Amino acid sequence: MGTTDEDGLITLPDIEATSSGTTATIAATTSDGSSVSATITIESVTSTIFFQPASGSETEYPALPDGVTVAALQQTNINSIRRTYVLGSDGVLYRSVSGGAWSTLASSVTDIAVPADGAGGIAYAVDDTDVYFQAVSGSADEYPALTSGVTVADLQQTYFNSNLRTYVLGSDGILYRSVEGAAWTQLASNVTDIAVPADGGGGVAYAVDDTDVYFQPVSGSATDYPALPDGVTVAVLQQTNVNSTVRTYVLGSDGVLYRSVSGGAWSTLASSVTDIAVPADGAGGIAYAVDDTDVYFQPVSGSATDYPALPDGVTVAVLQQTNINSTVRTYVLGSDGVLYRSIAGAAWVALASSVTHIAVVAASGGGISYATIPSC
C-alpha cells in the first residue's frame, strides 16, 4: 500500500519483479472512488560471461540469448580446451568451447555436474529425474531410469582411470552410482550429503543422518570414519585425493573445521568457520573463511596461512580455489559483488564487479569463469 503526502502525491512501496523482459500493470484507487492505472516494463536483464586466465586479461564470451541469466556455472579444461557450461534461467544448458558461440545441449535441465577430475563432458538432470551425460562431442547418453518416484537432490561425477562414475543423491535419501552409464546401484541409505574428491580417486564421501561419515572407493566396501564429536552434524562435506592420500573435510554444525586423513581420527583445524573450499585441481589443502571475513589456507601439513584482509565491510559470499604448478589462487566473491583474487596468499586484487556466479576450472588451468549482470 502506498502513502500520500500533503500535496496528494502517492509514493508506492518497492515493487519486486519476478521476470525480466515483461510488462505489468499497477492501479490505484483514491478515497473518492476515482482510479488510475499505468503499464510498466520490466527491463530485460541478460548475464554476461567472462573468463579470467591465471594471468593476463579477461575474455568476454559471446552473448547469451536475450533475457537469460545464469542459474549455475561450471567449467572444465582438458588438453588445453576450455569448456564452459551455463544452466540458464530458461532451463537450457549452454556450452561454449574455448570462448566460442554458445551451443544448446538440452532443455528442462534442473542440475548439472562436470567431472571433478577430468573428461571435459558434463552430466545433467532433466526435470529432476532423467540423467544424461554429454561428452565433449557427439550426442548425449541417457542413463537408465532411477527408481520410480525418485528425483535428483544432488548430482556429482568423477572421471578416473578412464571410467566415468556418476553419483546421485536421491530424494529418497539413497546414494546411487552408475559406472560408464550402466544401471544404478545403491550404495547407502539415509544419506544427507555427498562429496567426490576434487582432484582424483573416483570414489565418494557421504554423510548418513548428518552425522556419520563414510568413504566409498571405486570398488569394495565403504569405510566408516571415526565419530565426530557428540552432537556435531555435517554442515559441509568436501574431499581431496592427492598421491593416493584421501583427505576428508567436514565443516561442522559447531563452526569447527575437521579433517580426517585416510580415514583416521578427526583433527580440529579451525573454529568459527563459515565457508570452505578445497582446490579444484590439486594440492590437498583447503581454504576457509572465519566469521565470513578472514580467509586462511591450510596446506596438507604445517600451520594455516592468514590472508590479507578483504576491504572493510566485505564478507565472503562464495569461496573457491585452484592450485596449478604449485601456485595457489584463491577467489572470493564478496558481499559487494566484487570478484577478488589472491595469488599465493598475497594481497587481494579486484577482478570484476556486479558478479553473480563464479566457477574455477574443475580439472586444470588455474583460471576462473564468472557471470555479471548490469548494475541498476
Distance, CA of 319 to CA of 341 (rounded, Å):
10
How much is the pLDDT for 372? 97
Distance, CA of 292 to CA of 4 (rounded, Å):
41
Distance, CA of 23 to CA of 17 (rounded, Å):
10
The pLDDT tens digits for 51-103 are 999 889 999 999 999 999 999 999 988 888 899 999 999 999 999 999 999 99
Q: Is the pLDDT of residue 21 over 80?
A: no
pLDDT top residue among 202 and 137? 137
Single-letter amino acid code for the residue at 43: E
Element holding 229 (H helix, E strand): none
Our measurement of the distance from residue 110's CA atom to the centroid of its chain's CA atoms, rounded to an integer in Å, reads 14
How much is the pLDDT for 362? 72
Q: Is the pLDDT of residue 227 over 60?
A: yes
Say if residues 109 and 148 touch (Cβ distance below 8 Å).
Answer: no
Q: Is the pLDDT of residue 118 over 90?
A: no
Distance, CA of 365 to CA of 206 (rounded, Å):
28
Q: Is the pLDDT of residue 27 over 70?
A: no
